[in-house]
Amino acid sequence: MKVLAIKEVVYIGKKEGPDIYSWHSIYKELAQLIGTEATIQVYQEFKGTQVHFPVRLIRPDALPYVLNNEYNGKNLRKLAHYYGYSERHLRRIITDNKEKNDENHVNDHSLPYLLDLTKNEKGKKNEE
């Protein structure tokens, strides 16, 4: 039985950096997207791990917070397209947020005794 020794393969005229031709397709795609160095870092960190990327970037439970911070009254279509939700769905969330904020908002006229307390405290401070 012959034992063959494997020698190092030397590419003549090889460019600097790794040769991605022999990489698995997922690593080739990543290299084209984020570069070879970043792909090698991803490989070293996650090799052998199955990774699932959700269809949408933002978690459904975080969407009201994101919309509250990013919606300006005119950019609904842009936000829907960017985050992968329908305009109708985002509009519904915005409406729900507004209703919740209205429910949580304390109306000064609905609590007259609080107004009296604050007036009394202001009066006490002025007297001192």
What pLDDT sits at residue 19? 81
pLDDT tens digits for range 20-52: 889 999 999 999 999 999 999 999 999 999 989
Q: What is the tens place of the pLDDT at every residue in 44-103?
A: 999 999 989 898 888 999 999 999 999 999 999 999 999 999 999 999 999 998 888 777
As a whole number of angstroms, the distance between CA 50 and CA 53 comes to: 10
Residues 6+ apart with CB under 8 A from 21: none
What does the pLDDT read at residue 7?
47
Q: What is the pTM of this model?
A: 0.52
For residue 118 the two structure tokens come to 């604050």
Residue type, 23: W
